[in-house]
Amino acid sequence: MSEEIKLSPVEHFKQGSQHLRGDIPAELVDENNFFGKGSVQLLKHHGAYQQDNRDARGQGGKAYIFMVRSKIPGGRLTSEQLLAQLDLCEAIGNATLRITSRQALQLHGVLKENLHQCIRLINQSQLTTLGACGDINRNVMCCPSPANSEVQREIERLSDAIAEHLAPKTRAYHELWLTDPASGEKQLAGGGEEEVEPIYGKTYLPRKFKIGICTPEDNCIDVYTHDLGLIAIHQAGRITGYNVLVGGGQGVTPVNKNTFPALGQKLAYATPEQVLDVITAVVQVQRDFGNRANRKLARLKYLIHAWGLPAFKAKVEEYLGAPLAAPTADDVQGFNDHLGWEEQGDGLAAYGLNIENGRLQNTDALQLKTAVRQICEELKPGIRLTSHQSILFTDIAPENRDKLEAVLRRYGVTLSADISAARRWSMACVAWPTCGLAIAESERALPGMIDQLEAELERLDLSNERFTIRMTGCPNGCVRPYNSDIGLVGKAKDKYTIYLGGRLLGNRLNFVYKDMAPGGEVVAMLAPLFTYFKQQREDGESFGDFCHRKGKDDLLAFAENVATP
């Protein structure tokens, strides 16, 4: 290489961190209520984000708090583990628990003085926060179907195997969070045998890395949006192999015209025996060739864009030490949100409960958290979190179905069957006031917009139409707005970019319809398009497919004619 690459500051933090330790141990016990810049970046790998509650800012400056995320492969956990998280949110969080769009759980409002206790107690419930954030493989997503089938069990086993295989091997996590400070045990012993990260190396990955697994009939985890996606190909109830997709990613930086959302491309077909080695090779190529100078261009999608898929495939084959088979024609065909009652095939059933924007909380009108707690305590179901931020209660015996619904009604929780299609297929990121990247409201704004949209759809007799609405407070795209039927992306305070023309199936990007739309006018801008959709839709055509077929100019022309007849 003719000239040395100037690394980003985060790369220097990782390089000098002694495998993710850095200054965290000293700063964890100092008098400040915050961490320094280097520790803030390293803490992400341990599952914690330093944030600032902008609603609580005063003359004293920033109100520092922490978000702590648990890594839960496939969103599978027990009632006891969910109860432990509910206890934590009440004891040391902000009394709410949030389900993420990647099937994980987040505690919000944790103070620095409680951070060690929080992570330690999460581990005592047999969950972990290691690798939930940071420049490593994040939570492995997997279809949460309760179906008692060998295909479902196999993709679940694979999600667990990937999570274990790609978990950081550093001892820093145990030393920092799992050692009791009162025991007198030395937490961060220096010297000794040098640690080795067999896959990541000393500086881990250039940027976060996301993996998800689905089946052709159910792409509920949005497989095309991952750095690496796996479509499980199966015949006669057995998985024969996986179509491997690479290069998906949703984040965009508007001021950098070289950034863009991308959907994964088919790289290869891998057998069940080979797939873990193929994943490792892809990760290692990204490790060695991903952009470490500019974090805005560091995701795998930009490496593939720069090289082209054939060159990337050749490099993966070099690392693998074997040729890759061509992908098959198999592709995604369906999308199940898993809400309502679903038979498991073993005499038991699962109930999918819609959790609006993933927030488990109690309000004057809705005691959602109490209802979930009582179901877990009395019925002890299995728990599965969905990619739409909702909960599946699994293994429900026939005699307990009415009991579960009765608990929900008792605490004012609307049953999934009674929720509008628009609300059922919507989701929002956390955004304001706690996410440091948010420039507009999202979680607190979307429910009101859905209220307005429901009225418009009912007026047009379109209440049963299925289409995805996804809203983010910034362009980073945490709830995957760029492949949805309607994407609302924060661009400035109370201003949004409206995207149209994606689809529920998740395998098409949408396009910019309008930019800098005031939040209070978003539904009014969408309403004429639903009128147009009702008038000129083709048989079986979805709203996203209609917008894609008509295109931006045609839609704008119709809306303008409606506004100025």
188 — pLDDT class (breaks 50, 70, 90): very low
Residue 5 is predicted with a pLDDT of 81
What is the C-alpha to C-alpha distance for residues 90 and 164, in angstroms, rounded to an integer? 30
For this structure, is 207 an active site residue? no
181 — pLDDT class (breaks 50, 70, 90): low
Structural domain boundaries of the chain?
423-563
From 354, 529, 357, 386, select the one nearest 445 (Cα to Cα): 357
Which is catalytic among the residues 44, 76, 112, 210?
Answer: 210
189 — pLDDT class (breaks 50, 70, 90): very low
| Three-state SS at 550 | helix
For this structure, is 429 an active site residue? yes
Residue count of the chain, please give it.
565
Q: Who wins on pLDDT, 58 or 518?
A: 518
For this structure, is 238 an active site residue? no
CB 353 within 8 A of CB 409: no
Stretch 187-214: mean pLDDT: 83
What is the C-alpha to C-alpha distance for residues 381 and 392, in angstroms, rounded to an integer? 9
Residue 187 is predicted with a pLDDT of 47
Which is catalytic among the residues 429, 470, 503, 514?
Answer: 429
For this structure, is 120 an active site residue? no
Please report, as a single letter, which amino acid is at residue 515: D
For this structure, is 69 an active site residue? yes
For this structure, is 138 an active site residue? yes
Instruction: Kindly state the percentage of the chain with pLDDT values over 90.
Output: 93
DSSP 397: -
Residue 59 is predicted with a pLDDT of 62
Is residue 2 over pLDDT 60? Answer: no
Is residue 185 over pLDDT 60? Answer: no
Per-residue model confidence as pLDDT tens digits over 263-316? 999 999 999 999 999 999 999 999 999 999 999 999 999 999 999 999 999 999
Which is catalytic among the residues 89, 133, 143, 478?
Answer: 478
193 — pLDDT class (breaks 50, 70, 90): low
What is the C-alpha to C-alpha distance for residues 544 and 499, in angstroms, rounded to an integer? 10
Residue 183 is predicted with a pLDDT of 56
CB 41 within 8 A of CB 13: yes
Which is catalytic among the residues 76, 102, 138, 480?
Answer: 138
Which is catalytic among the residues 102, 208, 423, 503?
Answer: 208
* Beta pairing class for 486-492 and 469-472: parallel
Per-residue model confidence as pLDDT tens digits over 27-82? 999 999 999 999 999 999 999 999 999 998 876 789 999 999 999 999 999 999 99
Which tokens belong to 392? 């599946």
Is residue 319 over pLDDT 80? Answer: yes
Is residue 22 over pLDDT 80? Answer: yes
Instruction: Kindly state the percentage of the chain with pLDDT values over 70.
Output: 96
pTM over 0.75: yes
* Beta pairing class for 265-270 and 340-343: unpaired
What is the C-alpha to C-alpha distance for residues 112 and 145, in angstroms, rounded to an integer? 37
Which is catalytic among the residues 14, 69, 299, 491?
Answer: 69
CB 431 within 8 A of CB 474: yes
DSSP β-bridge partners for residue 394: 382
Is residue 534 over pLDDT 50? Answer: yes
Stretch 381-389: mean pLDDT: 98
Residue 291 is predicted with a pLDDT of 98
State phi, psi for 260 to the nearest 5 degrees: -165, 155
CATH 1.20.910.10 correct for 423-563: no
Per-residue model confidence as pLDDT tens digits over 120-176? 999 999 999 999 999 999 999 999 999 999 999 999 999 999 999 999 999 999 999
Average pLDDT, rounded, for the chain = 95
For this structure, is 547 an active site residue? no
Per-residue model confidence as pLDDT tens digits over 112-123? 999 999 999 999
What is the C-alpha to C-alpha distance for residues 392 and 350, in angstroms, rounded to an integer? 6
Which tokens belong to 430? 């956390």
